[in-house]
Amino acid sequence: MRTDGNCCMIQLTVDFGQKISICASAADQNLNFAQPPTTIQCWVPQACVGMQAECLRFGAMVPDAGPKIGVVGIGSYLPPRRVTNEDIERCVNTTAQWIVSRTGIKERRYVSPDTCTSDLAAWAAADAIDDAKLGPSDIGLTVLGTSTPDWILPATSCHVQTKLGLPTAPAFDVSAVCSGFIYSLAVAHSMFNLCCPNSHALVIGADTFSKLLDFEDRTSSVFFGDGAGAVVLGKVPAGYGILATELMASGALHDIIKVPAGGLHLPASTDTLSGRQHYFRMDGKAVWKYVTTTIPKLVPAVLAKAKLEAADIDLFIFHQANRVMVDYCATQLGIDTARLHYTVEKYGNTAAASIPVTLHDAIRQGRVQRGSHLVLVTVGGGMTAAATVMRWY
Ligand SMILES: CC(C)(COP(=O)(O)OP(=O)(O)OC[C@H]1O[C@@H](n2cnc3c(N)ncnc32)[C@H](O)[C@@H]1OP(=O)(O)O)[C@@H](O)C(=O)NCCC(=O)NCCS
């Protein structure tokens, strides 16, 4: 704002379709712009100069003019081996009917024994780099969300870096179980200007839960499949890209999703092996309770941060944990499930891969266009939860 004699001038840059209202006592007008991006200058009476604070607060609601960070390429990889509920029925004490009615899952994909998380991650990442029309030398940061790493150490992302021939730029893993992708996205977003202001960041969610499942435990083994999804982050024009993110963790509930042994808290021993303690364990009821109380609060919080409402969102990408639970959360939020995209029926719960795999699937089905507003939301072990709002470029 600058003042000039009896008047002051405010200059705002507004983006496509954005409606702005200038406070009636400052200037009696409502403006609705249909063309991108427009600069308006309006003179308001000197008497309103005392309202600078209000005007400045209003000005802060207008998108910055500078470029933003958003997705410029996306890829995914699902292993070819299909495992149907009937296949599961043959090795687990369950029925295909129970699985589909309680989870909505019909089949999932499993890796072959010689395939690791780094393989899935590298294949999905190569797809994303290709989609962005870039090469390995354009990547200045790699963040991999996974809870099924190739080794306890070093980071699986470093193995991915080698497989893809990426430069010696930072690469590390983020452990947030099924929230791993959105956590990684938030980390890469916040580190972008530090690590790669003139290049791009690679963000991957990849997991091979099939190698962690105990087929003697019917309460957890029926849910999961393997997969990987990846995005390339880069500069996008103002008004596009990542608009807001919310992250949270409730460590008091760390026990309800876990692999009890194999870490340094309980290293491998003959007892841990005979006690089957190296397998994934989940308290399904406690997870249901956490998810169905957290997501209905998290989505409004991230929307408020983005200054949007649920009605402004074109598509919701929920973590594909369980269709029954996702639909329950959508109902709690008052969102028509027609505005959700699902892959749980064909891929099951692919943990950290679930969000980018489902987003990529939605794009391939033509459900996302330039300018679409998207909400990505997830919950994972920890317990952790994360949501982000983006405007697709
Ligand atoms: C797992 C879940 C479907 C179980 O539903 P629930 O109403 O809590 O059911 P219960 O745990 O009381 O189990 C109900 C019955 O189904 C049985 N059951 C559990 N898993 C079964 C399976 N795969 N096949 C057949 N029966 C099964 C239980 O043994 C129990 O039998 P019982 O009544 O004879 O004891 C539900 O809690 C859930 O969806 N939780 C969220 C899990 C999730 O999405 N995890 C991933 C998060 S990242």
What span, in angstroms and rounded, lies between the C-alpha atoms of 304 and 294? 16
Does the Cβ of 295 fall within 6 Å of ligand 1? no
DSSP of 169-192:
--EEEE--GGGHHHHHHHHHHHHH
- Ligand 1 centre distance from Cα of residue 284 (Å): 6
Q: What is the pLDDT of residue 259?
A: 97
Q: Is 254 left (phi over 0), alpha (psi -120 to 50) or beta?
A: alpha
Does the Cβ of 349 fall within 6 Å of ligand 1? yes
Index of the ligand 1 atom closest to the CA of residue 379: 48
Please list the rounded mean pLDDT of every run of 10 residues in the chain (393 residues). Answer: 45 48 40 46 46 36 68 98 97 95 98 98 98 98 98 98 98 98 98 96 98 96 97 97 98 97 96 97 97 98 98 98 97 97 98 98 98 98 98 97
Which residue carries 């994934």 as its tokens?
Answer: 280
- Ligand 1 centre distance from Cα of residue 247 (Å): 28
Are residues 387 and 377 in contact, defined by beta-carbon separation less than 8 angstroms? yes
CATH 3.40.47.10 residue spans of the chain: 70-238, 242-391
- Chain centroid to CA 350: how far? 13
Which residue minimizes the CA distance to atom 42 of ligand 1? Answer: 284
What span, in angstroms and rounded, lies between the C-alpha atoms of 321 and 286? 14
Q: What is the pLDDT of residue 324?
A: 97
CA dist 73 to 43, 53, 76, 347, 356, Å? 43, 40, 11, 22, 11
Q: Is the torsion defined by CA of 135, 225, 246, 13 positive or negative?
A: positive
Active site members: 178, 319, 349
Which residue minimizes the CA distance to atom 16 of ligand 1? Answer: 219
Index of the ligand 1 atom closest to the CA of residue 177: 48
Which residue minimizes the CA distance to atom 19 of ligand 1? Answer: 219
- Ligand 1 centre distance from Cα of residue 393 (Å): 40
Tokens of 164: 């893809």
Q: What is the pLDDT of residue 66?
A: 73
Phi, psi of 4 (to 5 degrees): -150, 100
For residue 356, give every residue at least 6 positions away whose Cβ sits within 8 Å of its Cβ, in sequence order, or none: 74, 76, 124, 181, 203, 204, 205, 228, 229, 230, 231
Q: What is the pLDDT of residue 58?
A: 37
Q: Taking Cα atoms as reference points, which of 390, 319, 307 lies closest to residue 355?
A: 319
- Ligand 1 centre distance from Cα of residue 89 (Å): 15
CA dist 143 to 170, 286, 341, 352, Å? 8, 30, 25, 12
Does the Cβ of 102 fall within 6 Å of ligand 1? yes
Which residue minimizes the CA distance to atom 2 of ligand 1? Answer: 284
Would you say domain 70-238 falls under CATH 3.40.47.10?
A: yes
Place domain 242-391 in its CATH homologous superfamily. Thiolase/Chalcone synthase (3.40.47.10)
Q: Taking Cα atoms as reference points, which of 159, 209, 155 lies closest to residue 187?
A: 155
Q: What is the pLDDT of residue 35?
A: 46
Q: What is the pLDDT of residue 31?
A: 41
Q: Taking Cα atoms as reference points, which of 70, 67, 116, 109 lies closest to residue 88?
A: 109
Does the Cβ of 258 fall within 6 Å of ligand 1? no
Q: How would you class 270 by CB atoms within 10 Å of its CB: exposed for 0-12, middle for 13-18, buried for 19 or more?
A: exposed
What span, in angstroms and rounded, lies between the C-alpha atoms of 127 and 130? 5
What span, in angstroms and rounded, lies between the C-alpha atoms of 180 and 204? 9
- Ligand 1 centre distance from Cα of residue 381 (Å): 17
Are residues 254 and 383 in contact, defined by beta-carbon separation less than 8 angstroms? yes
Are residues 177 and 206 in contact, defined by beta-carbon separation less than 8 angstroms? no
What span, in angstroms and rounded, lies between the C-alpha atoms of 9 and 52? 11
Does the Cβ of 98 fall within 6 Å of ligand 1? yes
- Count of CA atoms in the C-beta half-sphere (13 A) of 159: 16
What span, in angstroms and rounded, lies between the C-alpha atoms of 222 and 345? 12
Q: What is the pLDDT of residue 67?
A: 82
Index of the ligand 1 atom closest to the CA of residue 325: 39
Residues facing 249 on adjacent strands: 384
Does the Cβ of 94 fall within 6 Å of ligand 1? yes
Index of the ligand 1 atom closest to the CA of residue 322: 44
The reported pTM is 0.85
Q: Taking Cα atoms as reference points, which of 207, 135, 188, 187 lies closest to residue 164?
A: 135
Note the residue count of the chain. Answer: 393
Residue from 219, 319, 350 whose mutation best tests the ligand 1 pocket (most atoms within 8 A of CB): 219
Does the Cβ of 285 fall within 6 Å of ligand 1? yes
Index of the ligand 1 atom closest to the CA of residue 381: 48
Index of the ligand 1 atom closest to the CA of residue 102: 3
Tokens of 98: 């129970």
Does the Cβ of 321 fall within 6 Å of ligand 1? yes
Does the Cβ of 287 fall within 6 Å of ligand 1? yes
